[in-house]
Amino acid sequence: MLLTIFRHWASLSIHRAIRRAIRRAAAPAGALAAIALLAGCAASPSAVQPTVYDFGLPVSALAGQGGTGAEAMSLAVDVDTPPWFDSPGIGYRLAYDDPLKRREYVDSRWAANPGQLLTQRLRQQLGVPDAAASAAGACALRVELQEFSQVFDSPQHSRALLQATAILTDATRRVIAERRFVTEKNAATPDARGGVGALVEAGNALGQQLADWLGALNAQSAGRSLCRTAETAKPRRH
């Protein structure tokens, strides 16, 4: 009985102390600090940092199925992304529950936005230096990224889905060829780490498909240059 009375008295005393601390605080922030102190809650010395992922170590240039590819032409490579890929968030969708809603992991993110990471990887795979983007007379390979996310078909199974359209133009920006690519890779685990691994595999697969495509285009050109420079593209004067 005495123990019950003591607990009731202690509880009332704590509540009175909290109310007094709130009244005496000079600002709302001071009140909150007083409450946290009296309740025994202390803020963590450092906020939890999200896990940051990228595409890993640089890779070697690939060879296209035609024996030649991007290395046989002066080429600039860039990836265009829609506005929702401008952030470094790792996106996923629940195909089994509201598939129209795009979600992002709160405790994991990319080192940069996906378009920048994919551009860097494709340039490595196609043997294209960054400086080629401004080279005079260079062809331009523009990859328009439509989807680059982890799709959950069930709570325990997910896959990476990459959808993109590749457009090859010459120095005058005349379209030489255009092709749509869809790549899917199963994720090893139904979480951010598994999704990242599958998305990197999908990006690598796209690089190989582009190398094969460019190689086939080069083979079909029968020795003629696919890329017209701005100078050679000018009409002749009579």
The pLDDT, as a whole number, for residue 55 is 97
pLDDT tens string 148-183: 999 999 999 999 999 999 999 988 889 999 999 999
pLDDT tens string 1-50: 444 444 554 555 555 554 554 454 444 444 434 434 334 444 454 578 99
The pLDDT, as a whole number, for residue 218 is 84
Q: In 25-157, which residue ranges form alpha helices assigned H by DSSP?
A: 28-39, 114-125
pLDDT tens string 96-124: 999 999 999 999 999 999 999 999 999 99
Long-range contact pairs involving 100-107 (C-beta distance under 8 Å, separation at least 24):
102/149, 105/50, 105/192, 106/50, 107/48, 107/50, 107/51, 107/192
pLDDT tens string 201-232: 999 999 999 999 998 988 887 656 666 544 44
Query: Does domain 51-220 bear CATH number 3.40.50.10610?
Result: yes
The pLDDT, as a whole number, for residue 169 is 94
Are 169 and 178 a contacting pair, CB within 8 Å? no
**What is the reported pTM?**
0.74
Q: How far apart are CA 161 and CA 182, in angstroms?
A: 7
